[in-house]
Every structure is written in C-alpha cells, then in structure tokens.
Amino acid sequence: MRASVSASSAAPCLPCLHSHGNGRAVAAAYAVAACLVAVTFLALAALDPRAQASSWFLSSSSSSALSSFSSLQPSGGGGAAEHLLVTSSSYSDDGGSRNSTGKEVHEEVQVGGDDLLLSLINPSSGRGAPQLSVTPPAAAPELEPTPAALAPPAATASSDEVIEATPQVPRRRDVKLERLELGLAKARSAIMEAIKNKDKRPPLADKDYVPMGPIYRNAYAFHRSYLEMEKLFKVYVYEEGEPPVFHDGPCRSIYSTEGRFIYSMEMESRLRTRDPDLAHAFFLPFSVVKMVKMIYEPNSHDMGPLKRTISDYIGVLSAKYPYWNRSLGADHFMLSCHDWGPYVSSANGHLFGNSIRVLCNANTSEGFNPSKDVSLPEINLRTDVVDRQVGGPSASRRPILAFFAGGNHGPIRPSLLAHWKGKGEPDVQVSEYLPRGVSYTDMMRRSRFCLCPGGYEVASPRLAEAIYLECVPVVVDDGEYALPFADVLNWDAFAVRLRAADIPRLREVLSAVSPRQYIRMQRRVRAVRRHFMVHGGAPRRYDAFHMILHSVWLRRLNVRIAARG
C-alpha cells in the first residue's frame, strides 16, 4: 500500500542537549535561541503568498487519498488553505442528484467565496489533496538500513520485487530551481486572479482561438492557464534509451495516442528544452506498447521483464542526474495508452505514487488519482489523414437514436448486449458485429447518440470517434472512469453519462433529451473536437497534444520542490 500525505502541523521545537559538564547550560541557551529563530522564520513564511498557495485539485473520489511517501509534506496554510480546482472522478456513493435524463447533476462549489474552475459531484464526499512540498530526505550512513520515511509502498500481490529508496545526501541551495519555482508561483497567481475575476474581464486576445461557452468549466481561467503554459512551461525529454522501446511508439493503432505524443514530444521546439536545468517537468519516453511487443513473452502473464526495464531505466536516470532524486519523481511524467500501463508503473514506488502518470486506463478503482494523474484519450487512428475522418450530418439526418457495435467483454458490455442486442428496435442498434458491407463509421454518422462502454478496461476509442463524427457520446460506467481533460472540460454540456444499472432505461433516458437540447449538445461536440484532434503533421495549438501537456502543466503547478537541502 502507498502511504498518504498527512496534513500535519509543524513539529514542536524540542532542544536536544548532548553537551557535557559546564557546557550544558550554554548548549541549552543556544537551543532556545535556535527555536526562536525557527518560530520567527515560520511566522514570516506564513505571510508569503507563495507559501499560502493552495492545492490545485480536490478529488471527489472518496476511495483513495493522494498517494505519496511520508517524505513528501504538505506546504502552505495547512487546513486553512483554499482549494482552487476540483475534479470529478466518480459518482457519489449515495447516488447523488439526477435530472430528467438520468444524468448525474454537477453542483457548483465555492470555497471562500471564490469561483472554482471546475465543478464537483457531491462535494461532501470530496477529499482535499494537499499540495506537495518536496524536500530531500536527511542523509544516512551507507551501512545503516533505509529509513522508514523513505521506504516504498508495500509490495502488492502482483509485484515481483521490493523497491528500496536510497537516502540522498544534503544538497546546496539550487538557485536555478528557485528561479523555476518562482516562475511557477507567478503563474499560479495569474491563474488564481483569472478564476476570481472571470466575469469582470473581457476575453483574452488570441490570434488562433478564444475558449468560450459552456463546454468549459471556466473558459477564462483555462485560457489564462493555457497562455501561461505557452509562455513558461518547459519539458525535458531524457535522451537515454534506444528505440523501439524508448523514443518510439505506435502511430496507427488503438494505442496511437501513445506513439503520437512521443513523436510530437521528440519534435517539439516551443515547450521542450534541451537544458534540464531549465525544465519544469521531465518526460520518461518509454512505450509500454513497444515493451509488450519486444520484451513480453506471449501468454506468459509475466510482467516482470517490463517492470524490470522501467526500474532499471529510472535507476540509470537517478544515478546520472539529480532531478529524479530531488523531487522523488514528483515532477516527472510517463505516458501509456496500453491497458497494462498502470500495472507496469508500479515497477518503481515513486513512479506509481509521486509521478504524473498519463494513462488511457484511467480507472479510479485501480489506483488512478485524478489529482495527480492525467486521463489520456484513447484514439484509434488508421491513417495520417485525420481531417478526412471528422464531421457528420445534422440531427435531422440521423434516424438512429443510439448505436453500439463491439465485442462482448468487460463488466459493462454483457449487460448492454443482453438488454438491447437483436431486439428488433430500429432506433436502438446494438450488436457485437456489423453485417458484411455495413460501415461502422456510417452507422455512427447516422446515429444521434453513440454508446461508449469500456471493454476490458474503462477507456474506449469510441469516445473520440463519436466526437470526431459529431455524435453525442454516452459514457456507460459506474463512475470509475476519469474522463479526459475533465479538469477543464464540462462533459455534462456535450455528453451523457449513464450508469450500468440504467442500461434497461436506455431508450427512456436518451428520448428525454429534447430536439432543441440535442442540437445544442451536438454543436458543443463540434466545438470540443479541436481538443481531441491529432494532426498528421506538427501539433496545433489547443489540440490533443497540447491539452495533454496542459493537464501535466496543471499538476506540475500542484508540486513545489524545495531548492535547498
């Protein structure tokens, strides 16, 4: 199990007297003076607005707290800190409130009177994710055992090895890191100001696109955050590792998001830096899909070789560079669209518990933490000419109410197929396989709602396919799936979320959406599509590549790294 961060107050100042003879009184006086200095320092730090910056995310999932190690301590004002952003990761246990269409009703939450960027499902079940202030552990002699504060999480049943964290030596004041953290503090302040004054300011100037409308939680704050990212954020891509396992990935498959991001990151010039001292975040450029293809023994069900590859890679980086050790991986991120991505990330305790994991398999019941991790959209690309795969007719030219075709596997699909497959309902087309000559894409273009249940895992490429073809997506799950870019996008504005228990009421729920409401939703699907686009050439502003980086950027803002030992 992973240790959670506790928001405890500062430890009391207790003088340690180890002097002998007549020097004992002098030592006591020095100790008391040191305590007074420490108290004064803490009082001044409390007045520092950067020290009072709050957590950027508050997860509504009550199933898991923010996972980290006890060497990561919360900073800022403790329990009085103001939470600015929240994410909706799951349904509430009590069912929450529902509207006439059976969708979950999101409630707007206010903390301290300030508008939030996001909304929260059943805020009473939420749990605050304290901001991380990362400090290096104290030094220990080489022959002494690893301190408990540095020990990794206990090995799970699926783990085949025990990870040990090596204590670090004290390091000098890092001026470059201080400069980076100061820049991030200024960006936080600018975004906080945008959140508070979203209704008092005109839209920000932008030559390409100005986010507006109900598809966003807070369009003005998102725009300010995106512009701050473009102005400041720098990512360093480790050059160690050889293709195809590293610096490579699939670009034309169901896992194409993984390969496309790795490729785009390699080609990136604006947000990438070649100087690691200038980086705010560090990308681990391995491909789990390529590992499965090159390293995994088919049908062996043994992930050990994959885990050892990742563990060894991090070991090389931590021995060669200081960046992993100084933050315990909290400013590093990995990306995987393979179903096994979450499991192989447990190869290193800090990678699983501290690092930003960008995953298609964003299942909150399996350790995905929306306050720290990023949900990656699963996009099945078959060609580089993506622009020809988008667009669809208006609502009046879509005679099918709901459509799904796919294999009968996973926890949701058996129920869907049992209730609606082969029922002879012309307006609800549900099947495992389409008849010969029937186009899957054409069926989606003829449907008003496209059902997107997960398969073996929670993510489905149908979500992006529906958005591409302007078919309103219906996410069928019980809230375990953390939807992509939900820290920015208001999914209720352009999608329907249906519980598994409501599958028998599918027609009733979808028919309750009026023609006028559907036209609005379809228009919003068309507007949000730009954020899911993957282009054949260079990435474009506000596309899927930059939205992924923006999600990493937000989570990096939630981490502070101490610039001194």
Give the pLDDT confidence of 533-561 residue by residue, as tens digits. 998 788 999 999 999 999 999 999 999 99
**Residue 33 is assigned to a structural domain of this protein:** no
Same domain for 546 and 504?
A: no
Residue with the two structure tokens 């195809």: 244
Instruction: State the CB neighbour count (10 A cutoff) for residue 532.
Output: 23
Please give the residue that has the higher pLDDT: either 251 or 507: 507
Q: Give the pLDDT band (50/70/90) at residue 407.
A: very high
Does residue 27 lie within any of the structural domains? Answer: no
Whether 182 and 229 map to the same domain: the answer is: yes
The answer to whether residues 502 and 400 belong to one domain is yes
Looking at the structure, do residues 402 and 507 belong to the same domain, yes or no? yes
pLDDT at 564: 67
Decide if 183 is inside a domain: yes
pLDDT (tens digit per residue) in 348-380 = 999 999 999 999 999 999 999 999 999 999 999
Asked if residue 324 has pLDDT above 80, the reply is yes
Q: How far apart are CA 398 and CA 403, in angstroms?
A: 11
Residues 358 and 240 in one domain: yes
The number of folded domains in the chain is: 3
pLDDT above 90 (res 332): yes
Q: Are residues 286 and 235 in the same domain?
A: yes
Residue 219 has pLDDT above 60, yes or no: yes
Same structural domain, 170 and 234:
yes
Same domain, 344 and 399: no
Which amino acid appears at position 169 of this protein? V
In a domain, 85, yes or no: yes
Average pLDDT over residues 44-49: 40
17 assigned to some structural domain:
no
- Between residues 49 and 443, which one has the greater pLDDT? 443
10 found inside a domain: no
The runs of H, that is alpha helices, within 58-174 are none
Domain boundary among 81, 103, 132: 132
Nearest to residue 559, comparing CAs of 325, 332, 330?
Answer: 330
Do residues 399 and 377 share a domain? no
| The predicted structure's pLDDT at residue 36 | 54
Is 4 domain-assigned? no
Tell me the pTM.
Answer: 0.74
Which residue, among 490, 499, 483, has the nearest Cα to 95 in the 3D structure?
499
Closest CA to 454 of 547, 390, 361: 361
Tell me, yes or no, whether 294 and 410 share the same domain.
no
What is the predicted pLDDT for the residue at 470?
97
Max Cα distance, the chain (Å): 97
User: Do 500 and 550 reside in the same domain of the chain?
Assistant: no
Q: Taking CA 446 as the corner, what is the angle to CA 444 and CA 452, rounded to the nearest 5 degrees? A: 30
d(CA 163, CA 410): 32
- Of 81, 105, 132, which closes a domain? 132
State the pLDDT at residue 378: 96
Domain boundary among 101, 132, 163: 132
Residue 170 has what pLDDT? 59
Question: How do residues 270-286 score in pLDDT, each as one tens digit?
Answer: 999 999 999 999 999 99
State which amino acid sits at residue 295.
I
Task: For residue 353, give its domain range.
Answer: 148-381+542-561
Q: List % helix, strand, coil for the chain (3-state, nearest 5).
A: 35, 15, 50
| Whether residue 210 sits in one domain with residue 330 | yes
Q: Is residue 138 part of a domain?
A: no
In DSSP notation, 79-96 reads: GGPPP---B--S--TT--
The CA distance from 462 to 545, in Å, is 19
- Among 74, 64, 67, 65, smallest CA distance to 131 is for 74
Euclidean distance between CA atoms 488 and 272, whole angstroms = 23
At 220-236, the pLDDT tens digits run: 999 999 999 999 999 99
- Say how many Å lie between the first and final Cα of the chain, rounded: 28
Please give the DSSP secondary-structure letter assigned to residue 153.
P
Which residue is it, tokens 């208006």? 394
